[in-house]
Structure 1
Amino acid sequence: MVELKELQSNEELEQVWEKSQQNPVLLFKHSTTCPISAGAFEQYQSFLESSEDNLDGYIVKVIETRDVSNQVAAETNIKHQSPQIFLIKDKEVLWHTSHSKITADSINRELKNA
């Protein structure tokens, strides 16, 4: 099981980029008011609960910590969406997707390809 950590500041986001040099990182952008995001978040949690991979899992709540969400978009040059997930390794986004394409199976498949 991978522990899920919530990012609350841009400084914590910077630490995530550094950690990606040691382990792959999954970063999930979540809208706490959106039912589509709630479903994708369930898939993300399901994946993390069943995962034994050596990786780190994070969440950014896009409404509550908009500055962190905006920083993710700025640093990745990937248009903001929510829900949205990123697979980051060695400070590079290897994969990202959004909405109903976020499934435990899709995350697992992309991690195996990383």
Structure 2
Amino acid sequence: MGIINKLFGGSSGPKEEKLLPWITLSELSQLDTINEKSSTKTQVIFKHSTRCGISRMVMNQFVDAYDVNENNLDLYYLDLLNYRDVSNEVGYKFQVSHQSPQLLVIKNGVVVAHDSHGAINELDLNQFR
């Protein structure tokens, strides 16, 4: 029974949920703020589709592996289904084609790294502090 629990998410006890210092990205005006703040502090945007199982899986892996001090970067969460206009503007403003899920790392107004799907979890955010 142990291997089945591991495969399908069962556990012997409750799992403590890890909370990240998410900043909800829901307004177009926040993109100007992100651009400005990126000159002094790394800005990261996680674009997530709440209806996509792959996006949910990647986000859960990202949360589990996250080990960056919140003083080193700002972490934005974008629900791209509820804020489609913001998601579209992210692509235009930062010149990155839309993917979902997608992670963008912004410094000095420029995307210095971005990836999508499982490759998100291969990015080492500590190198962009």
Q: TM-score, normalised by structure 2?
A: 0.77
Structure 2: gaps spanning 5 or more residues: 1-18
8 Å contact from structure 1 (residues 27, 59) kept in 2: yes
Partners of 1:20 and 1:2 lie apart in 2 by 19
Cα RMSD over matched residues?
1.8
Equivalences for residues 1-114 of structure 1 within 5 A: 3-48=21-66, 50-52=67-69, 54-103=72-121, 106-108=122-124, 111-112=126-127
Where has structure 1 moved over 3 Å in runs of 4 or more?
none
Identity fraction in percent: 33
**Greater share of helix:** 1
Whose relative contact order is higher, 1 or 2, with alpha carbons under 8 Å and at least 6 apart? 1
Structure 1: gaps spanning 5 or more residues: none
Aligned residues: 110
Q: TM-score, normalised by structure 1?
A: 0.86
- Specify the structure having the higher radius of gyration (Cα): 2
